[in-house]
Structure 1
Amino acid sequence: MEMKIDEKLSVMELLKRAVKLIFSNINHAFFLFLCSLPLFCFLIFSKLSLQTTISLAYQFPSHNQINLPENDLITWLIQTSLLYFFPYSLLDLFTTTMIVAASSTSEEKPLGMLSLVRRSAKICQNRLVGCLITSLYVLLS
């Protein structure tokens, strides 16, 4: 499965290679699942926070709030904004970097779980600063 740098692949060929990569090594699929789990759990938590904020914002103009002070909406808005800006961005960056590092393999033989974790951590350690700078630039622009 040697690929040249100049080789252009169609979308279907890329998807076929991605599926083959995931299903050819159960350790790789399990590692991707473990890397994605913290982001998934955080997204559930942040969506609940967003839903509460939207509900409070909807109730705020009609003053039909139930046992909530008026400045509670501002607190929820700030909390939800900070949740999306800091932890979500860092978790997304970490998850994406680990998945790309784990998936960028040039070896035909399946890697064991421990060697997959070590190799992915080493690649992430080398690329994390550049990815963080790019992510911050995109986030702030």
Structure 2
Amino acid sequence: MDNVNAIEDKSMESTTSVQYIVVKIGSEQYGININYIDNIVRSEPITRVPKTQTYYKGVINLRGEIIPVMSVRIKLGLEPDEFTDKTRFIIVKVDGATIGVIVDQVKEVVTLDNDSIEKVNKANNSDAAANYIESIGKSNGELISLLDIVGLIVEASEK
């Protein structure tokens, strides 16, 4: 009987999976946990807000709600955003805060199980981007840097 329970526990562990939206930022692919995503919208006119952090591009009016918009590129230490017809704002809700993050392109939704995800050691890393990557996912032979969206958003909203 104990063997049956052990097998059931093992099978339940391996079936734990999470869905991620895969986006392009610069030349890299990043994954954002779908549980935090409220909406995806085409780029909207941004109203600049003076005296904010450089990674805040301003605010947008989305159906009557004023939402701050953040450049993930600048936050990750990359070159400034280039707006194209593929640019999207991903509206994220974290700890009661709503914020839009600018991405170059939304590619797909992938489901990753525990076996497809490797944790990343963040200790003593001077690379800005590495501080916001919680793990690396493998899907269809490609690597996807899984963003710590909570860390990215919460830290940004506290400054």
TM-score greater than 0.5 by the shorter chain: no
Q: Which has the larger radius of gyration?
A: 1
Structure having greater relative contact order (Cα 8 Å, sep ≥ 6): 1
Q: Hey, which of these two has a bigger chunk of helix by percent?
A: 1
Q: Hey, which of these two has a bigger chunk of strand by percent?
A: 2
- Could you tell me the TM-score, scaled by structure 2's length? 0.22
